[in-house]
Structure formats: structure tokens, C-alpha cells
Amino acid sequence: MKNYLLCLFLLLALALPSWAVTVCGITFADDAFADDIGTYAGSWGATGTALRDILVGTTVGDSVCSGTATDYVNILFTDNYIKNGTGVDFAAFEESGTGTSGTPGCTLTFTINSVTKQYVPYWVSGTTYVTYIDLADFGVATNALISSIQIRGGGDPDYTAFGAINNVSVVIPEPASLILLSLVGLGFILFRRIHA
């Protein structure tokens, strides 16, 4: 019985939910943010570091912008998907200078599912603004998963981060977990043979 409880404990420990990350007072799963950039076109100006370094991860502050409407960057989510669930599905952060509650930022343009829409972010903290996007606005089917979004230039938006609110993690067991589960299974078999 003790062995069964030990194995159950190990399995539960492996299945624990991911840790949470808070950005500008909004809580996300730790894997909810963009992981990479794909193809891009145009001339994107960056404050601070390189284009990829700014658009990937949870850090806000540095930003990228392009004044040309045909410029784009494909934002990729590789360890998670954004799910079209109930209500808003992801948040996009933008840098528009110091604001106060209710202050609008620069218009953000997204293309998803071959549909282009614009959103106005509102101030949340310091120089950071946020807008919430519902994938249903882009014709994405209910409960469908997407792994990329496209940001567009034009106007003067300063994109900085993207986080999935309806986040679905891609479960890829690490090798150590697979070995541990195999050893537990072998232990069960040996235990039953010895005590049979």
C-alpha cells in the first residue's frame, strides 16, 4: 500500500500546474507568452535590443514599431496555444508613454485567420498599455487553437509583449520524467511478481 501511495504522489507531482507570471497586474501561466518570431517584412525600429528579444517573453518596456501598414511580424507560440475560449483570449502590450487610467495608446493591428482588425490599448502601468483580443473577432472557431498571430505596422504602435489568457500548454515530457515513469512501472511489475 505504501508503494502505491508513493507512486501516486510521484505522478501527482509530475502533473502539477505551471507557475503563474504577473505582467502589469495581469496574471498568466508561465508559458503563456510568445516564444519566437517567424517571418517578417519591412523596417521595424527597436528600442533597446533586437526585434526578437523585445517581442518574445514577459518583459515590457522595450518596444518595436513600424510606420508602414504593409510591414508585419509573425509572433509564434511554440510551447503553448491560444485557445478561442469564452471571452478574451490573449493580451497585447504596447508602450505609449506615461498615462493614467483610461488613457488610450496607439492603435494595434493584427491579422489572424486572414482577417485584419485594429484595437486600441489602454494604460495599465507606467508607460505600458494593454488591449484584450477575442479570437472570435477573427472568425476562429470556438475551442480552436492557434499558435501564431501577425502584428502589422502603420500608425505608431510600439509593440512589446503578447500573452495568452486562454492558454493551452503543449505537453512534451522531458526525458527524466519518461525514465522515472518507466522505473515506476518496472517497480510495480517486480513488486507484483515478488508478492504473488
The range of the structural domain enclosing residue 125 comes to 20-172
**Strand pairing class (72-76; 148-152):** antiparallel
- Give the mean model confidence (pLDDT) for residues 49-61: 90
Q: Compute the CA torsion angle 42, 44, 50, 53 (nearest 10 deg).
A: -90
- Give the single-character DSSP code of 113: T
Residue 86 lies in a domain: yes
For residue 160, which phi and psi values (nearest 5 degrees)? -135, -35
Q: Side chain identity at 112, as an amino acid letter?
A: I
Give the residues across from 22 on adjacent strands.
Answer: 27
What CATH number has the domain bearing residue 128? 2.60.120
Q: How many CA atoms lie within 13 A of 81 on its CB side?
A: 11
Residue 145 lies in a domain: yes
Distance CA 163, CA 165 (A): 6
- What pTM was estimated for this model as a whole? 0.78
Residue 185 lies in a domain: no
- Give the mean model confidence (pLDDT) for residues 33-47: 93
With a pLDDT cut of 70, the percent of the chain lying above it is 82
Over residues 100-124, the pLDDT tens digits come to 999 999 999 999 999 999 999 999 9
Residue 157 lies in a domain: yes
**Strand pairing class (159-164; 20-23):** unpaired
Higher pLDDT, 180 or 45: 45
Answer whether residue 98 shows pLDDT above 80: yes
Residue 31 lies in a domain: yes
Cα end-to-end distance, the chain, whole Å: 14
CB 129 within 8 Å of CB 42: no
- Give the distance, in angstroms, between the CA of residue 28 and the centroid of all CA atoms in the same chain: 8
Q: How many CB atoms lie within 10 A of CB 104?
A: 13
CA angle 103, 53, 169 (to 5 degrees): 85
Residue 156 lies in a domain: yes
Over residues 152-178, the pLDDT tens digits come to 999 889 999 999 999 988 765 566 665
Domain count across the chain: 1
Residue 76 lies in a domain: yes
Residue 100 lies in a domain: yes
